[in-house]
Structure 1
Amino acid sequence: MIDTNVFQDKKAVYYTLGCKLNFAETSSIGKTLKEAGIRTVRKGEKADICVINTCSVTEVADKKCRQAIHRLSKEHPGAFIVVTGCYAQLKPEQIADIEGVDLVLGAEQKGELINYLGDLKKREHGEAVTTVAKDIRAFSPSCSRGDRTRYFLKVQDGCDYFCSYCTIPFARGRSRNGKIEDLVAQARQSALEGGKEIVLTGVNIGDFGKSTGENFYDLVKALDEVEGIERFRISSIEPNLLTDEIIEYVARSKRFMPHFHIPLQSGCDEVLKLMRRRYDTALFASKIHKIKELIPDAFIGVDVIVGTRGEIPEYFDRAYEFIKSLDVTQLHVFSYSERPGTQALNIDYVVSADEKHRRSQQLLALSEEKTRAFYARHIGKEAVVLMEKSKAGAPMHGFTDNYIRVELPHDDSLDNQLVRVRLGEFNEEGTALKGTILA
């Protein structure tokens, strides 16, 4: 049994890099530490504990993690520094050698971080305690919102796919998940806490059920019956796992929003084969067509990687034209980053950094064009917006059911409230539509 007396009057600062799943897990860690008597630092205070939850999807992510460790070590001198997350799982020795780091925890131990804090005594350089399990089996539940309006419910973790460019199966382990009854209970608790929207998160959520003999469709149906939660969103789902059954259910659902996020990665079949993805462009296009047929106003976000090994100019041009032809709303564009130990390193053709940048900019311009066109189609329409907290005096923002960002004048009473508005023109930054509250 851990002695929580050592934590009384202690303060912690949290820093998260990477995906929504990481943010959800950091929020849960913060909640656990708070229950043990450790409060979050206020502006201008020095922390006793720094928790850094890392990402390792690209070399840039690794670099940002190292920079965050150095920065927090300087900003909070003498603080007990804990590093966890994907980078910690993949490169624990590298992180342990960074000056100031006291504890390195892998994916298996992240959810039990408080049990590893000990007496919070600083270690000397090179003596950081490292606890990383190679075989990651545990599922650590998480449903929290941190400083956000929306809750993030972790339903699944890990991945069995082993795409040629990706280290996630090594960083997060094999696919595993919570039980439907437990996840429903977490959603109900979120409703009791005043939550109105929950985003389902995971690494490969369509693969839900591997460890419990259940399936994602049944999870969706069960969550749809949770009273008090007005909105559910599916964060990201593989196209081959997004069944017509799920699309049809969302189309008639009481609470699941007309909002999909689907990773494409490449719009060229030859590149998809090199990536070892489990679908082709024809299947992807059929999913987009099915969504738009049943839910014409659905928001569809798409992940794309540019400059992967083997993506010759002809393949990129083909991918660009395919993506241009899709009735999607927004592209999340990533430049390929070489990851040690991945099969992609065996592919000879390498795309230069300058060419990756050019391709990325070309797709980002296409994304902006598609998003603005989608927003413009909704000007003059009525919509219900869930408003999010903003800084005093700053405009407030929220999202419609189909994820259009809406701006309203600041009003604290609107925080976490569903507001009916009429959608107006773009704001000055072009990032949202201005709303007018309807009586």
Structure 2
Amino acid sequence: MKAFFISFGCKVNQYETESIRADFLSRGYEVTENPENADVIVINSCTVTSSGDGKSLYFLRKARKLNKDAVIVLTGCMPQASPSISEKIPEADIVTGTKQRGKIPDLVKEFIENRQQIVSIGKYCADDKFEEIIPGDFSGKTRAFVKIQDGCNQFCSYCIIPYARGRCRSKPMEMLKKEISELARNGHKEIVLVGINLAFYGKEYGLRLIDAVEECSRIEGVERIRLGSLEPEMISNEDLLRLSYIPQFCPQFHLSLQSGCDRTLQAMHRHYNTAEYLTLVQKIRNIFPECSITTDIMVGFPGETDEDFEESLEFTEKIGFAKIHVFQYSPRNGTRAAERPQISKSVKHERADRMKALAGKLQKEYLKKQVGKTVPVLFERESSPEFHQGYAPDYTLIKIPAKKCEKSLRRMIFYVKIKKSEKDCCIGKIVQ
């Protein structure tokens, strides 16, 4: 039997999809890249925004039209956060959430035998432990994601994720070391540590995220360590100093800002203000002069005035981010922000356009500053025959011209001198 897998949303979802894929492979399934000839289609959904829901549902309905006979599984955050809605989706044969993913192949077997829709969404408890699932091998990928943390205790007023993921819990250190060692043996030079609220790693064990990074750095074959999105209030001076002593650490800090206006941050129930955020960025840049600071910014939060938005724009420019993910606020049922008076779609759209224009300007300025530098680049799969491409430690995309029929540089690290910058990347040349 053949199975097709698709993942929407964050790096944690990508990790979990790889795990589900590995589970099916261990049970004798073949993996297909074409949903039309699959016997089983697994859709790992995202619900962080309404557009995330929309993408998952659009693909689900498209898949059913393309393949009327396949067993379709809808899993992930959307069913977990909205079980009463998800179980009424007729195109899904199996609906399951973010718990007990190891049962999905068994549920498929049960459906094939009975041909009755299965809804199996487990509930989270306060004392839940980190769920052990089969690690994916990330075959065909250059970088490997490793989920080391799940859940969130923050309850920002706009966010449904604590309901979709439960409370914070961390992967035990021995499990983490075993998984990363296996990935390194399989040729993965770069490990990306990810989580729902990654900076909370290890809290129940008396550990911190830096402890996981240090353990990872001791594993033979790991040449790069990168971190997923971080909450600004959880990063201490000691953490930064200890990170600076790790040669494999890639100095890209994705610090989720959400808004550059203190009034909006307070209404969002974020746990920092702009002065604290700025101080943290200054400390990072002092310790890591070659770092990049990237972020997420929301526009159109309920109650955000024109003055608030202008303040957010001004602060964003002041920080000078290397890259920004801009998104419009969308109400999530069950959150406090959804109950407040909403801003019109046209205003949100106009603010998003302005913030994206600023983001493009800042990215262009950041890339220009890279010209003349010589950086190590881990090359990935070529996107076109004209270029080899890969990423510098600060996550700048670097391309070098490729000769016709030249062999791939994938999974190799070379030093590259950056010659010029373009809209979203830099062009360079390998140097000795």
TM-score by length of 1: 0.92
Of stretches 360-369 and 405-414 in structure 1, the one that deviates more from structure 2 is 405-414
Q: Which of 231, 235, 238 is equivalent to 1:242?
A: 235
Of stretches 169-178 and 294-303 in structure 1, the one that deviates more from structure 2 is 294-303
Structure 2 match to 1:7? none
Q: Say yes or no: does 1:30 pair with 2:21.
A: yes
Q: Say yes or no: does 1:259 pair with 2:252.
A: yes
CA drift at 1:250: 2.3
Structure 2 match to 1:105? 96
| Distance (whole Å) between structure 2 residues aligned to residue 162 and residue 286 of structure 1 | 24
Q: Say yes or no: does 1:162 pair with 2:151.
A: no
Q: Which of 419, 422, 425 is equivalent to 2:420?
A: 425
Percent identity over paired residues: 33
8 A Cα contact 2:388 2:408, kept in partner: no
Structure 2 match to 1:296? 289
8 A Cα contact 1:331 1:363, kept in partner: no
Structure 1 match to 2:276? 283
CA drift at 1:147: 4.0
Q: Say yes or no: does 1:354 pair with 2:346.
A: yes
8 A Cα contact 1:24 1:144, kept in partner: no
8 A Cα contact 2:111 2:117, kept in partner: no
8 A Cα contact 1:102 1:123, kept in partner: no
Q: Which of 166, 169, 174 is equivalent to 1:173?
A: 166
SS at match of 2:256: strand
1:270/1:44 CA distance change after superposition, 3 Å: closer
Q: Say yes or no: does 1:323 pair with 2:316.
A: yes
| Distance (whole Å) between structure 2 residues aligned to residue 28 and residue 134 of structure 1 | 21
Structure 2: runs of 5+ lacking an equivalent:
none
8 A Cα contact 1:250 1:257, kept in partner: no
Structure 1: runs of 5+ lacking an equivalent:
1-9
CA drift at 1:102: 1.2
Structure 2 match to 1:388? 380
Q: How many residues align?
A: 425
Of stretches 401-410 and 139-148 in structure 1, the one that deviates more from structure 2 is 139-148
Of stretches 14-23 and 242-251 in structure 1, the one that deviates more from structure 2 is 242-251
CA drift at 1:436: 1.1
Q: Say yes or no: does 1:413 pair with 2:408.
A: yes
Letter of the 2:385 counterpart: G
Q: Which of 175, 181, 184 is equivalent to 1:191?
A: 184
8 A Cα contact 1:389 1:412, kept in partner: no
Cα offsets for 1:225-259 (capped at 9, x unmatched): 12211101111110000111222222232111111
Letter of the 1:217 counterpart: I
Cα offsets for 1:72-108 (capped at 9, x unmatched): 1122230111110000112234333323311111111
Letter of the 2:344 counterpart: S
SS at match of 1:82: strand
CA drift at 1:123: 6.7
8 A Cα contact 2:379 2:411, kept in partner: yes
| Distance (whole Å) between structure 2 residues aligned to residue 328 and residue 360 of structure 1 | 16
SS at match of 1:389: strand
1:381/1:99 CA distance change after superposition, 3 Å: same
Letter of the 1:409 counterpart: P
8 A Cα contact 2:35 2:67, kept in partner: no
CA drift at 1:139: 2.3
8 A Cα contact 1:153 1:200, kept in partner: yes
Letter of the 2:308 counterpart: Y
Cα offsets for 1:6-56 (capped at 9, x unmatched): xxxx11111111101101110111111111111111558600000000001
8 A Cα contact 2:173 2:212, kept in partner: yes
1:147/1:361 CA distance change after superposition, 3 Å: farther
1:57/1:123 CA distance change after superposition, 3 Å: farther
| Distance (whole Å) between structure 2 residues aligned to residue 132 and residue 43 of structure 1 | 27
1:327/1:393 CA distance change after superposition, 3 Å: closer
Of stretches 259-268 and 320-329 in structure 1, the one that deviates more from structure 2 is 320-329
| Distance (whole Å) between structure 2 residues aligned to residue 146 and residue 55 of structure 1 | 23
CA drift at 1:122: 7.7
Q: CA RMSD in A?
A: 1.9
Of stretches 50-59 and 142-151 in structure 1, the one that deviates more from structure 2 is 142-151
SS at match of 2:99: coil
Cα offsets for 1:188-207 (capped at 9, x unmatched): 11110100001111010111
| Distance (whole Å) between structure 2 residues aligned to residue 122 and residue 392 of structure 1 | 45
| Distance (whole Å) between structure 1 residues aligned to residue 194 and residue 352 of structure 2 | 26
Structure 2 match to 1:3? none
